[in-house]
Amino acid sequence: MIRQALAIVMLCLSLAGGSVDSLVDQTSLGGSLYLVNRTYRLTAHYQPDDLVRPEVRRLSSEIMMRREAAEKLEELFEAAAQEGLRLVAVSGYRSYETQRIIYQRKIKSTGSVAKAERLVAPPGASEHQLGLAMDIGRRSNTNLNMAFGRSREGEWVARHAHEYGFIIRYQDRWTDITGYADEPWHLRYVGVEHATVIHTMDIPLETYVEQMQQTMCGEMYANLTP
């Protein structure tokens, strides 16, 4: 019993604590609910083994996602098309090395690491490496900027993305938590059940995962009570 209690304590501490060297498997709560950010990072060798090319309009034929996420993205694009809205997949899975190049380029263009990190994740800290994130645009404008959020397509996606398992991952009002500026084009797949709750609660993924961790640890402690 003492050994089991100690194991639970260590698990809860590792979930709540985390450091720059924390690995993504420490933040997996099952399914597609992974937390990747500057605290919880992926290794340089991490690559999903089920990457596929979603059958949607894509900016490049090389754009990929994990299979389940890709299938739900196809459903989301089809639903938008039925409303007369034409979405375009702009950027999906990125390797650690690709993210490193993008990150270094942004530092040079902004002249500041601090400014760059508000706009681009460092290598290992990007959800794109998970294969569960997709940047999207519209057929008339595939540039990733604030205009997407104000467009008919962007507004529709903000209302309906959760129905297909996606959340709008980064919003200005959450910058202090997520570390990133507003990105209405950045979709993150977490599954329909989680996405619906996150959308309803109107909270960032970090807060949701923290609450899930607290719930899990509370239940584990309760099960030890005679």
Task: Please identify every residue annotated as catalytic.
Answer: 183
| Lookup result for tokens 């099960």 | 223
Whose tokens are 């060297």? That residue is 21
Distance CA 158, CA 132 (A): 17
Residues in the chain: 226
Distances (CA, A) of 110 to 120, 186, 196: 11, 21, 36
Strand ranges inside the chain, DSSP E: 22-23, 40-41, 51-52, 65-66, 87-91, 133-138, 166-170, 183-189
* Cβ burial 179-215 (10 Å sphere, 16+ → b, else e): bbeebbbbbbbbbeebbebbbeeebbbbebbbebbee
